Chains A and B, each alone.
Chain A
Amino acid sequence: MSPKTLYDKIWDAHVAHEADDGTCLLYIDRHLVHEVTSPQAFEGLRMAGRPVRAPEKTIAVPDHNVPTTADRVNGIENPESRIQVEALDKNAKDFGIHYYPVHDVRQGIVHIVGPEQGWTLPGMTVVCGDSHTATHGAFGALAHGIGTSEVEHVLATQTLIQKKSKNMKVEITGKLQPGVTAKDITLAVIGETGTAGGTGYVIEYCGEAIRDLSMEGRMTVCNMAIEGGARAGLIAPDETTFEYVKGRPHAPKGAQWEAALNWWKTLYTDEDAHFDKVITLRGEDIAPVVTWGTSPEDVLPITATVPHPEDFEGGKVDAARRSIEYMGLEAGQKLSDVEIDTVFIGSCTNGRIEDLRAAAEILKGKKIKDGIRAMIVPGSGLVRAQAEEEGLAEIFKEAGFEWRLAGCSMCLAMNPDQLQPGERCAATSNRNFEGRQGRGGRTHLLSPAMAAAAALTGRLTDVRELM
C-alpha cells in the first residue's frame, strides 16, 4: 500500500461514494450550527419537507449575535439579532438537534464549545457554516467551513459533495523563543505563504514547535489555516490530544474509548508520504508579530517598521497603499510607536483558558493605560467560570478590563461590541479586513500576551519588554 498522509487517511475513511470523475460524497461525522448561516438552510428543509438526517450528529449554539454584557439575561435588544437567535432556538427544537441556548453555562463560540464538550474527536469529519471550523483540525479531524447551501446539504444528507484537495506540509522546527506563542506561529506562516498560498490545499502542521503546543495552542494554529487560504489545517493526534479529550462529556468511554484510541493512534502521516507543497520555518526565527495592514498576510515582527508600498510587487503595491491609508499609518513608522484606543482579547482564535492565562500573566498587579477601552470576552461560559475560579477574572477587572460573557463579540462586530470609525484596536482575533470590527475601524492582530502589553502601554508593544 502506498504511504498516506494524515489527510489521505481521514478522507479515505469517509468517502461514501466516488463518481468516475473523482467527485465524492464525503460523510460528515459532526455538523456544528450557529444562528447566522443556518436560518436559510432550515427554511430550505421545511420548504422541501425534508428532515435532518442525523440530528444526533448535529450541534447548535448561538454565538455571533449574542450580546456579551450582563444585561443579556433580559433578552437581545437588536431586533434582527434577536430574530436570528430565536430562529435557531426554534430550529433546534423542531429538528431535534443538540442545543446550547444563550442562558446555558456551556454556551459560547461554536469552535470552542465543540472541543470542550468532546463533540470534536480525532479522525472525524467536522463542518460548520463558518470558515473558522478549521480550528477543530487541532485534534486531527478534517474540519472546514461551508456555505449555507452546503449546511442544508449536510442537514439533509449528512454528506458533502467534494473533490479532494492537495496535501501541504507546514513544519515548524525547534523551540519557540520566550514571548512567542501559537498565534505568532500561525501569523508568521500566513506572512510566509500569503492569504492565497494555501488555496486548494489541506495543511498538516508538524515539527517540534507544534508538538510542544497544548491543545489550546494547536487550535489557535489550525484556526487560521483559512486565513492562509487552505481548506483545512490538521495536526496529528498524540498523547496531548488524548489527554485533552478523555473524560469530556461526549468523548467515548470504557471499551469504546479503548477502541477509539487504537484507531486514533494510526492517524499520522506515513513515512515517505507525498506532499504537493512543503513550507518549513525555524521556531527560533519566529518573533512576536503584529499585522500592519488589512490582510492577515500583512505580518511583521513588532520590532519592524510599516513597509513602503513600493517594497511589494504586482497587485500588492496598490493593495498595500490602500491598506496603509485605511490604517492611518505612515510608511517607515515604527510599529511599536503605533498608539491604540481599544484592546480585544477573545474569539475562536484566542478565547480559551490558556489565552486568558497568558494575558493575566502580563496584567497581574498592573493597570491599563488611561483612556484605553479593553475587554476580555471568554470563548465559552465554561472558560469564563474557570477563569473566575483561577482568579484571572479579578486580575483583569483590577487592571481595568471589562469582563464579558461568552460570544464572538468584537471579532466580527455583529453584536453591539464594535469599533467606531478611525478607532484602532489591538485584537487577538483572526481578521484585520477593512471594517471587520466596525465600519472604519482599524485592527492589528496579535497574541493575547501582546494584546495585554498593548493595553498597559497604550501602543503596540513588544511583550518581551514586560516579561
Chain B
Amino acid sequence: MEKFDKVHGVAAPMPLINIDTDMIIPKVHLKTIKRSGLGVVLFDEMRYHDHGGENEEFILNKPAYRNTEILVAGDNFGCGSSREHAPWAIKDFGIKVVISTSFADIFFNNCFKNGILPIVVAEEHHVVLMDDAHKGENARMTVHLEDQQITTSDGVVIEFEVDPHRKHCLLNGLDDIGLTMEKNHHIDKFEDHASQARPWV
C-alpha cells in the first residue's frame, strides 16, 4: 500500500447526513471483479442525470471541486452495506481524506485498508471545516497524519484522534495480511487449544 503522510488539497462540502454506500456507489457497479476504475461512478446517481450527462449542481462536478482530495461530510457517513467498492471508488476519484462527525463501522474499517484516512471530529470543529470547504478551490486544507492536525485555509489548526496501530500502518503503507502472518505461531497455538476445547467447530 502507498504510504500516507500529508494531504494538501481542495476540500469539498457534503453536509447531507446518512450518506449511504448505495449513494456512494450503486449496486450496478458492484459487478466488477477488479478493484480499480470505479472513480468515474463515485456518487453515480447524484453525479449524473438519469438520461446521462453530468448534473452540474452536484458538488464534485463544479469546476472548483473537480480535484477534491478531502471530503467534509455529514454525520454517519458510509452507512449501509459492507461493499469495499465504496472506498475503492473514493480512492480512485482521488479523495484521500474523509472528515465527519461519525462514520459507519464497516466503512470506517474499509477506508484504512485502502489508504484513506477517515477522521472523526467534534460538532464544533465540523462546523468550522464545513464552512472552510464551502470556499472552493482557492481554500485548500492540509491534513497531516503524523502530527494529527487539520489546518484550514485560514490557518485554524484542529487536532484529531487516530488509532495508533492504524496510524502506523497508514504512515508506513503496511499490508495487514503480512503483519498478521508474522503472528502465525499465535494462530497455530490458538487452533490447537480451540480444537481441544470446542472440537465440534
Give the B-binding residues of A (Cβ under 8 A).
13, 16-17, 19, 21, 23, 25, 27, 29, 36-37, 39-40, 43, 48, 50, 53, 57, 64-65, 78, 80-81, 83-84, 87, 121, 123-124, 129-131, 144-150, 152-153, 156-159, 161, 163, 195-196, 199-200, 226, 229-231, 252, 256-257, 259-260, 263, 295, 297, 314-316, 318-319, 322, 412-414, 421, 431, 433-436, 439-440
Contact = CB atoms under 8 A, between A and B. Distances in A.
Contact of A319 (B18, B35, B177, B183): B18
Contacts of A439: 26, 45, 50
B137 interface: no
Contacts of A87: 33
A157 B180 contact: yes
Nearest to B22: A433
Interface string B166-201: 000000000011011101101101110010011111
Determine chain A's interface SS by DSSP, over half rule: loop
A256 B199 contact: yes
Contacts of A231: 105
A39 B33 contact: yes
B177 A37 contact: no
Contacts of A57: 201
Contact of A124 (B20, B22, B201): B201
B84 interface: yes
A431 B22 contact: yes
Interface stretch (B54-62, B73-81, B146-154): B73-81
B77 to A, nearest CB: 10
Contacts of B34: 40, 43
Contact of B200 (A17, A36, A259, A436): A259
Interface in B73-123: 74-76, 79-84, 87, 102-106, 109-110, 113-114
Contacts of A39: 33
Given A53-B187, A147-B110, A315-B17, 10 more contacts: A37-B82, A37-B84, A146-B106, A161-B165, A161-B176, A199-B104, A231-B105, A434-B22, A439-B45, A440-B50
A430 to B, nearest CB: 10
A309 B28 CA distance: 31
B199 A316 contact: no
A291 B57 CA distance: 29
Nearest to B178: A48
Contact of B113 (A149, A157, A297, A431): A149
20 contacts: A17-B190, A21-B163, A21-B164, A27-B187, A27-B190, A37-B84, A83-B31, A121-B201, A123-B198, A146-B106, A147-B82, A161-B165, A196-B75, A200-B105, A256-B199, A297-B18, A319-B16, A412-B27, A431-B81, A435-B45
Nearest to A156: B177
B22 to A, nearest CB: 4
Given A81-B31, A150-B109, A153-B180, A431 B45 contact: no
B114 A414 contact: no
Given A21-B165, A318-B16, A431-B22, A16 B190 contact: yes
Contacts of B79: 195-196, 229
Contacts of A157: 177, 180-181, 184, 187
A27 B102 CA distance: 28
A199 B34 CA distance: 30
B55 to A, nearest CB: 13
Contacts of A80: 31-32
Contacts of B80: 131, 431, 433
A158 B198 CA distance: 16
A209 to B, nearest CB: 26
A434 B45 contact: yes
Nearest to A88: B33
B16 A145 contact: no
A149 B104 contact: no
A54 to B, nearest CB: 8
A260 B200 CA distance: 7
Nearest to A158: B187
A161 B76 contact: no
Given A145-B82, A161-B176, A252-B200, A25 B30 contact: no
The 10 closest A-B pairs by CB, nearest first: A252-B200, A149-B113, A80-B31, A39-B33, A16-B190, A147-B110, A147-B84, A145-B82, A315-B17, A196-B76
Contacts of A130: 81-82
Contact of B20 (A53, A318, A421, A433): A433
B23 interface: yes
A199 B106 CA distance: 10
A343 B25 CA distance: 25
A131 B79 CA distance: 10
A83 B33 contact: yes
A121 B143 CA distance: 45
Contacts of A314: 17
B81 A131 contact: yes
A149 B114 CA distance: 8
B56 to A, nearest CB: 18
B106 A145 contact: yes
Contacts of B18: 195-196, 295, 297, 319
Contacts of A433: 20, 22-23, 80
A64 B27 CA distance: 10
Given A19-B165, A149-B110, A435 B26 contact: yes
A23 B177 contact: no
B181 A149 contact: no
Nearest to B113: A149
B187 A199 contact: no
Nearest to A196: B76
B136 interface: no
B163 A163 contact: yes
A152 B177 contact: yes
A17 B183 contact: yes
